[in-house]
């Protein structure tokens, strides 16, 4: 039975240590990429969330075996000894955007794939043009109707300039290039930590990739891939969510094994809001007593926090940053550049007492601090859902959050983990399931 509601009693301080899950956005492309080899693959630190479970079901549907380790619930074994170019289940594909990541491995193994349009969060148009641009350069033909039909007699290396640094586009192109004969230059590539994880995983299997962590990847493709074992890194978006959690509840938290090497832009963004984090080894510490004063630009000008491609502030943390800003003194312009519907959730915050002006689909002016009131709200997508949970934990009184399955798509056992820190969260489940 999955949770349908969180009933949250806000206004309580939290304390303790929390460990971030494995990076969902690394796990998904790596699970798909495991289909590139006919040898067994073992993945460690895989988050057990709905999106991952759905992709595992899709992997099984094309003939690969996939099983969770009995002694470690976060270890996944995949063996794609044989795969078939089956018509992918449209119901499963509609649940997650990551279904499109199966395109490259199935092209490589089967020479064709029929893919229903991917699903996922409704946060604005999410174009897939970049994927098809890269596939075409590598020798793929495609037809677009109610499904995406892709065929490739042979994948051949090419010099590719992506029209935008799309994360999933880069990941699909990278997997296809590893299978292609010859050398591929992938320019204007995304370089997020999860893209780096995928590249390092492919290298573990025997792929030859240069430039990992930069926007130019050189892939020497066509080499046979072996099996292997790989550990997925911590989720920097979850770490950022926990920073926001500590900030709005005025709590002292230790985020253990946070992967601090990937957190410079995240920490700079929260620093602008007056939230200072320190490090001890690979742990991130957020103190209860914080300035919580928004830092103006030079000359006293209103500052702006905006998302951009890595290594800048991540788009998936904008919702969290908006809620955090409501509890900080000053005014800041939040500029969400990538998704035109992501900021629409702020009307729910306004209903709770936040002082926010939604200027247009991409910009919101936040003035704080504001005393939030308990309310009944809906979780519209993964990140906005988590942001609303933070707002409920901050607000005085009892809030109800509906449609929390959206949150559970991206945050594993989140209610249980926050309760361990002292949060007052009651989970209501749908008894009909």
CATH number at residue 76: 3.65.10.10
Q: Model confidence over 242-281: pLDDT tens digits? A: 999 999 999 999 999 999 999 999 999 999 999 999 999 9
Mean pLDDT to the nearest integer, 71-86: 93
Same domain, 137 and 223: yes
Same domain, 44 and 16: no
d(C-alpha 76, C-alpha 141), whole Å? 33
Buried b (16+ CB within 10 A) or exposed e, 290-323: bebebeeeeeeeeeebbbebbeebbbbbbbbbbb
Same domain, 17 and 108: no
Same domain, 138 and 48: yes
Same domain, 332 and 359: yes
d(C-alpha 400, C-alpha 177), whole Å? 47
129 is catalytic: no
d(C-alpha 30, C-alpha 66), whole Å? 13
Domain boundary among 196, 231, 266: 231
Q: What is the pLDDT of residue 123?
A: 39
Q: What is the pLDDT of residue 122?
A: 43
CA nearest to 399, candidates 377, 416, 415: 377
How many domains are there within the chain? 2
Mean pLDDT to the nearest integer, 380-404: 94
Q: What is the pLDDT of residue 2?
A: 62
- Cα maximum dimension of the chain: 64
Locate 96 and state its tokens.
């997650």
Is there a contact between 124 and 342 (Cβ–Cβ < 8 Å)?
yes
Check whether 117 has a pLDDT greater than 80.
no
Domain boundary among 231, 253, 280: 231
**Mean pLDDT computed over every residue of the chain:** 93
Check whether 235 has a pLDDT greater than 80.
yes
- C-alpha distances (whole Å) from 160 to each of 113, 130, 131, 220 are 22, 11, 11, 14
Mean pLDDT to the nearest integer, 188-216: 97
Check whether 191 has a pLDDT greater than 80.
yes
Mean pLDDT to the nearest integer, 101-123: 80
Strand segments, DSSP code E, in 211-261 are: 216-221, 228-231, 252-255
CA nearest to 168, candidates 28, 340, 52: 28
Helix axes 318-325, 382-394, angle to 10 degrees: 20
Same domain, 142 and 239: no
The range of the structural domain enclosing residue 370 comes to 3-21+234-429
Q: What is the pLDDT of residue 90?
A: 84
Q: What is the pLDDT of residue 200?
A: 98
Q: How confident is the model at residue 199 (pLDDT cuts 50, 70, 90)?
A: very high
Same domain, 82 and 17: no
Same domain, 68 and 156: yes
- Supply the pTM of this predicted model: 0.93
Domain boundary among 231, 249, 279: 231
Is there a contact between 322 and 370 (Cβ–Cβ < 8 Å)?
no
Check whether 432 has a pLDDT greater than 60.
no
Mean pLDDT to the nearest integer, 313-341: 94
Catalytic residue among 121, 197, 235, 316: 121
Same domain, 324 and 366: yes
**Other beta carbons within 10 Å of 398:** 16
Q: What is the pLDDT of residue 158?
A: 98
Same domain, 48 and 14: no
Output phi, psi for 260, to 5 deg: -65, -20
Strand 355-360 to strand 363-368: parallel, antiparallel, or no bridges (unpaired)? antiparallel
Same domain, 221 and 244: no
Q: Which is more confident, 56 or 379?
A: 56
Same domain, 152 and 52: yes
Strand 182-187 to strand 159-161: parallel, antiparallel, or no bridges (unpaired)? parallel
């Amino acid at each position: 039975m999955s949770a349908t509601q969180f009933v949250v009693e806000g206004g309580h301080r939290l304390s303790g240590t929390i460990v971030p899950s494995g990076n969902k956005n690394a796990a998904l492309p790596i699970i798909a990429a495991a289909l590139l080899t006919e040898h067994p693959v073992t993945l460690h630190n895989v988050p057990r969330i709905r999106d991952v479970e759905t992709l595992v079901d899709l992997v099984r549907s094309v003939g690969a075996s996939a099983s969770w380790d009995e002694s470690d619930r976060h270890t996944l074994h995949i063996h794609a000894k044989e795969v078939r170019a089956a018509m992918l289940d449209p119901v499963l594909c509609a649940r997650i955007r990551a279904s499109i990541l199966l395109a490259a491995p199935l092209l490589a193994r089967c020479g064709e794939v029929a893919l229903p349009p991917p699903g996922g969060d409704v946060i604005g148009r999410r174009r897939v043009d970049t994927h098809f641009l890269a596939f075409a350069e590598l020798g793929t033909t495609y037809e677009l109707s109610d499904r995406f039909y892709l065929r490739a007699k042979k994948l051949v290396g090419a010099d590719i300039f992506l029209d935008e640094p799309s994360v999933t586009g880069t990941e699909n192109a990278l997997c296809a290039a590893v299978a292609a004969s010859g050398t591929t230059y992938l320019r204007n590539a995304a370089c997020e930590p999860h893209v780096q994880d995928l590249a390092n995983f492919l290298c573990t299997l025997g792929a030859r990739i240069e430039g990992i962590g930069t926007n130019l990847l050189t892939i020497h493709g066509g080499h046979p891939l072996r099996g292997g074992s790989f550990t997925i890194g911590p989720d920097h978006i979850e770490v950022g969510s926990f920073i926001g959690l500590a900030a709005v509840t005025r709590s002292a938290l230790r985020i253990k094994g946070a992967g601090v090497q990937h957190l410079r832009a995240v920490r700079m963004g929260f620093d602008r809001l007056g939230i200072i984090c320190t490090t001890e080894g690979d742990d991130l510490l957020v103190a209860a007593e914080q300035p919580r004063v928004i830092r103006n630009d030079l000359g006293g000008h209103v500052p702006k926090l905006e998302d951009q491609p890595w290594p800048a502030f991540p788009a998936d943390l904008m919702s969290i940053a908006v809620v955090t800003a409501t509890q900080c003194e000053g005014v800041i312009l939040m500029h969400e550049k990538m998704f035109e519907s992501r900021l629409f959730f702020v009307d729910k915050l306004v209903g709770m007492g936040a002082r926010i002006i939604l200027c247009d689909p991409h910009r919101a002016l936040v003035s704080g601090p504001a005393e939030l009131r308990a309310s009944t709200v809906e979780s519209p997508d993964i990140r906005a859902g988590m942001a609303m949970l933070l707002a409920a934990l901050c607000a005085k009184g009892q809030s109800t959050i509906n449609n929390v399955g959206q949150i559970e798509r991206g945050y594993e056992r989140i209610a249980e983990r926050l309760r361990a820190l002292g949060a007052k969260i009651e989970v209501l489940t749908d008894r009909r399931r």
